[in-house]
Structure 1
């Protein structure tokens, strides 16, 4: 029996309550640990980042770190940002945070060589006057006329200054390039000298006002970019000697050069000069600016450098152009065309494996656009090293250049397109020991011409390994093929949609011996086209054009036969002249009308039939995006739940 004098024993604590207390204590400890780690990171690891983006957009590139490591003297960065701008336009406020964070990364990686100041230029303040004096762009915020700033000014110990007048959110993907270029300009006082010999108005067309096209008076954007990194110097087309100070010679669309100039180019390369030769079977830029009207003879729009390139072991084809269905531009179709837009396979964007990923100048480019380009190939038995930079896809073919020179018809060109399954090189790097194209010495002078006094000694072979780049297209420099230039409060703003400018500047800098910004500049373009759908659409469109042309020819023949039948036969002489139609002709007319109606129905239906692949793919993608992915996640969750339940059952057993 239990002892009545003894107090009853305290019931033991419930296991559930004890577990609850331990869990709460664990949560508090975890929260304290997380808070402590955050405080330590804020204090000692401010710039520690983990970049999980595919293109590593938030990580300073090797080129930027190379430029920062090469700083020989301190550089001061002054960010002028009006807080009122961020308050009124939140998009600029978010972008300002992005700019500040990036500048902080620069300062942290500079080893103390960069100093950052952040200033708010309030209206009528000394800071505002200083921002205006530095050339930063003031933008009106409202109708009251209050102006705001969002720019950067940098200066070195020699009081040299560089500025970014206004940060545009549209250029966010070029932010690192713009910042690094600004610092590079202050840290590199000497730039490679690039000589430019061209027959094209790359620095603006002086006839722009006469042509009533003032926009043509502006230089091409690629020339503006080259001036930011190099010193450009114009070369006369009749020069006899290339100045030895010139490191890179940029030869663009050479036409009818005298033999003395060709000799000067040859000897420049023999003495170790670097050459960028840009030729063209048909220059769209030259054709668009050619004078004359209807009935005028077509201008000469091709160029070559056969005398030199043949001697060096390479040739450029100037009577054929490369057509490429992959990446073809959509252009306005003809007035009588049933479809408003058509793929113009003579103009195309090179993407993916068309860009050599093993070469620094093209390794990180996303897209390069060309117009009426030609091919390059090594000559049989040539000992020169031939490295392709730009290559067409296998969906390409060659076509007579006259088809694009005289009234090109994109619809007919597409209808005649047949992919040959062969790829064609359009740009290539050449390296090797070269023999002079003038083995017997300088050519004879023309009558009345005198030999230059500073003519160097003749060289029959290159002093060292020659390094040159040949591109069989000059329209790569034309703004309309790669960049949009818009007006932003009186200032031109260039927004590239292709990497043409980066490609040319990369080549010039690498040939000139400075390639720190090549990888960085190539990160600028971030175009990611829907390649699968686009390829199906282009193939369907090409098939449609081929089918359409056959039906159109049959329709025209039937309509021509119908007109002949309607004329009937001539009445006998002496009777009233009139057209007589026999019953047989009437039956033939009815059959022709029925055939015309059937042909037109086929023309209307053929494109719809050929688009079924695209519509089916779009439907499948919608199913995958809407249903399949959630189903997969749900299935994974159910599988994990079943696995956990099975493990618990096994543990209890």
Structure 2
């Protein structure tokens, strides 16, 4: 191996003596960063992550890697220097590895020189550095496999254009191997095992697995095996062409060697993907893909054996790679549970083929039959848990909800262990339960939060009229009390003060009150504010039903009219993680919670309770009368005009508690949320359609927040630690601050200009007669001056509106320019300086020799 370093240095210098390496690096940086900003919309997406970069990187490499590798052997054969290499006392495999190491060094150098993008994201927000670092590792491994392919094909021909085209086509096949459209022709000619083998060779699939933040040994072995195979093939080709002779003169044994090599490569790749157990390292900041401590405690607490049965239609899922790949990950995750359980959790996989007994069992256990778009048989993809004669199921496992997979599995195991589900009783006259609403008679569908909560708990909806709270109630859910009978309030008081757990939702502006329509006048006899009698005063809880919290910092952007710019509604508050109590498991690690027309909570001076805030507004907040807030519904942004902050945050949700008195009695554990609308569907879920089935995607953490509260009050602390481990939003904080500052400046200018415009309009109105300007006054100097001022002010209003996001746009342009052109220009400048110095040194040497 003593000659190997010298060979590597020779090849490395060969790349940098010519412009090839520099041109490759510069074009790579220009293309990759241009792609991520203009095709991946990195800046516009506003998320501090490089997923879009690594998603587009393979297509940049498809264009450039063949260009980097095409001359490796073609130039040696064309120039005849291959004979010099053959004369060296080194085996061919060392020469191949030297060329590969040098080319990979150039490619990885270009990749690492994209680090300014990483720095930019760190400056703009708070990226997950572990995920980004692992993405670079996966990209470097992919480059190794691509370069090995290019080097091997470079030994086929002296024509570099032919080599480039062949390399690009073969790499393209590797990239497309996992796409359904590319696999359909193969599926028609070969059995499914061959199709699965080809699909497992997709570079995109393995790169995406790495770039999500999980280092799987199987993915790295795939790239290593692929690179080793093509490097080995390269050695065989060189031996076939040894001495510079044409390939066909030494091809007698080549077909046999090629077939044997391909068979070994495919067999090894298949064995790695199917037989090797998953060995993973989760590098995400919150360990999103590892079993949490909560799951481990739930596993340890299993008293009776649990059998998890995955019903998965393997044949029907073949045309849908997203299901096949996700089914593998579900199986692996269940396998982790089984491995941790010491034999208490068993895993079975069943394919419910059409008209089989397995299909009948799946249907009987609540597994949903999903019709497919191509009209083929139904797809089953659900999970059941059986323990001690009890059965629970997940009717359909949604691939788009993978971040909640661990929670769903742990919840399934825990629920099947319980003899009875916890009992939650809802007391409200709001139409939360749809058909189950005792006052509305099923006039509206149940809210998503009610449907999801009823899947885990014994949930019932009782009318506040003649309320009887069942004795076995675990959690009492009190929602928007208003003008309730004294007997009802007394029973609620007795339940809470006897140690019962309760969650209380109050609201100064409940939009879901029957008879109220958003944006319409409020009937005089309709009360939108909560009224809890004297109970709040008795417990020392402060809440004013006539005051709504406005927050200029966390105001949510909303578009009332598609022809208008989005406007911020300070009463529609989008709370980020920093506004949540990260020390409380109910709100820890949640992403974003949206409230509408929320009130403020406090603890009175003589209160016997402790207050622990869960949600708070920013210090750029104020209170406003609920009536005034409702009157501004058509143009909520005007609430920000002349906005005067109270310079302190308001408590929007809190835990009120009291320990058990020493003299006897019970403690109090009460969670109070000063908004009811945050549970309405419009604020946190979006309905989509998947194979004809409605699928609700959470757009905010409203549901998680409320479920956490119910889980904790019912004694399920372990589930709380799992629920909060979903995807985390990583916004561009600097962009958000600039945008808010610009909006504040815009509002101040708008207020000033509107006041001037009102003055001008008043002057014009003073010149009118019967609502019109007399013709003899149209040329009056005063009127012309007022009219000109009106036009000027309106133009100024339009100008500042256009420039509202100018600072953000300028920042985006600077970030794009620095990342796209900064490093390439720096490299070109360094290359120019080095070339100038080299030239001066040659001139100096020539002058010196002439003087001698």
What TM-score does the superposition give when structure 2 sets the normalisation length? Answer: 0.61
Q: Work out which of the residue numbers 595, 618, 632 in structure 1 matches 2:812.
A: 618
Change (3 A) 1:626 1:428: same
- 2:369 corresponds to which residue? 138
Contact kept in structure 2, 1:238 and 1:258, CA below 8 Å: yes
- 2:612 corresponds to which residue? 387
Residue 122 of structure 1: how far off its partner (Å): 3.3
- 2:75 corresponds to which residue? none
Contact kept in structure 2, 1:121 and 1:127, CA below 8 Å: yes
Q: Work out which of the residue numbers 172, 189, 214 in structure 1 matches 2:402.
A: 172
- 1:480 corresponds to which residue? 682
- 2:249 corresponds to which residue? none
- 2:9 corresponds to which residue? none
- 1:592 corresponds to which residue? 786
- 1:505 corresponds to which residue? 707
CA distance in 2, matches of 1:307, 1:95: 53
CA distance in 2, matches of 1:178, 1:114: 15
CA distance in 1, matches of 2:525, 2:749: 32
CA distance in 2, matches of 1:420, 1:579: 49
Q: Which moved more, 1:98-107 or 1:407-416?
A: 407-416
Residue 481 of structure 1: how far off its partner (Å): 1.1
- 2:552 corresponds to which residue? 325
Change (3 A) 1:174 1:433: closer
Q: Work out which of the residue numbers 415, 418, 440 in structure 2 matches 1:185.
A: 415
CA distance in 2, matches of 1:427, 1:558: 46
Give SS of 1:393's match. Answer: coil
Unaligned runs of 5+ in 2: 7-86, 98-219, 226-267, 831-852
Change (3 A) 1:608 1:185: same
More strand by share: 1
Change (3 A) 1:635 1:191: farther
Q: Work out which of the residue numbers 442, 449, 453 in structure 2 matches 1:226.
A: 453
Deviations 1:434-462 (A, max 9, x none): 99xxxxxxxxxxxxxxxxxxxxxxxx997
Q: How does 1:351-390 map to 2 (within 5 A)?
A: 351-390=576-615
- 1:63 corresponds to which residue? 294
Deviations 1:344-365 (A, max 9, x none): 1101121122110110111121
CA distance in 1, matches of 2:794, 2:555: 28
Give SS of 2:434's match. Answer: coil
- 2:23 corresponds to which residue? none
Residue 495 of structure 1: how far off its partner (Å): 1.4
Give SS of 1:87's match. Answer: coil
Contact kept in structure 2, 1:225 and 1:501, CA below 8 Å: no
Matched, 1:81 2:81: no
Matched, 1:283 2:510: yes
Q: How does 1:181-330 map to 2 (within 5 A)?
A: 181-204=411-434, 217-239=444-466, 242-286=469-513, 289=516, 296-297=523-524, 299-305=526-532, 307-330=534-557
Contact kept in structure 2, 1:392 and 1:424, CA below 8 Å: yes
Contact kept in structure 1, 2:370 and 2:693, CA below 8 Å: no
Residue 390 of structure 1: how far off its partner (Å): 0.4
Change (3 A) 1:133 1:298: same
Q: Work out which of the residue numbers 561, 564, 581 in structure 1 matches 2:776.
A: 581
Q: Work out which of the residue numbers 151, 165, 189 in structure 1 matches 2:382.
A: 151
Q: Work out which of the residue numbers 664, 672, 676 in structure 2 matches 1:470.
A: 672
CA distance in 2, matches of 1:201, 1:183: 32
Residue 313 of structure 1: how far off its partner (Å): 2.0
Residue 315 of structure 1: how far off its partner (Å): 0.8
Residue 266 of structure 1: how far off its partner (Å): 1.9
Change (3 A) 1:157 1:292: same
Residue 564 of structure 1: how far off its partner (Å): 4.1
Give SS of 1:427's match. Answer: strand
Contact kept in structure 1, 2:554 and 2:618, CA below 8 Å: no
Q: Work out which of the residue numbers 516, 520, 524 in structure 1 matches 2:722.
A: 520
Matched, 1:427 2:653: yes
Q: Work out which of the residue numbers 616, 639, 642 in structure 2 matches 1:413.
A: 639
Contact kept in structure 2, 1:431 and 1:465, CA below 8 Å: yes
More helix by share: 2
CA distance in 1, matches of 2:771, 2:474: 79
Change (3 A) 1:105 1:292: closer
Give SS of 1:284's match. Answer: coil
Give SS of 1:149's match. Answer: strand
Change (3 A) 1:556 1:203: same
- 2:627 corresponds to which residue? 402
Contact kept in structure 1, 2:373 and 2:691, CA below 8 Å: no
Matched, 1:530 2:724: no
Q: Which moved more, 1:324-333 or 1:503-512?
A: 324-333
Contact kept in structure 2, 1:270 and 1:461, CA below 8 Å: no
Give SS of 2:280's match. Answer: coil
Give the CA RMSD over aligned residues: 4.1
Matched, 1:103 2:334: yes
What TM-score does the superposition give when structure 1 sets the normalisation length? Answer: 0.78
Change (3 A) 1:417 1:80: same
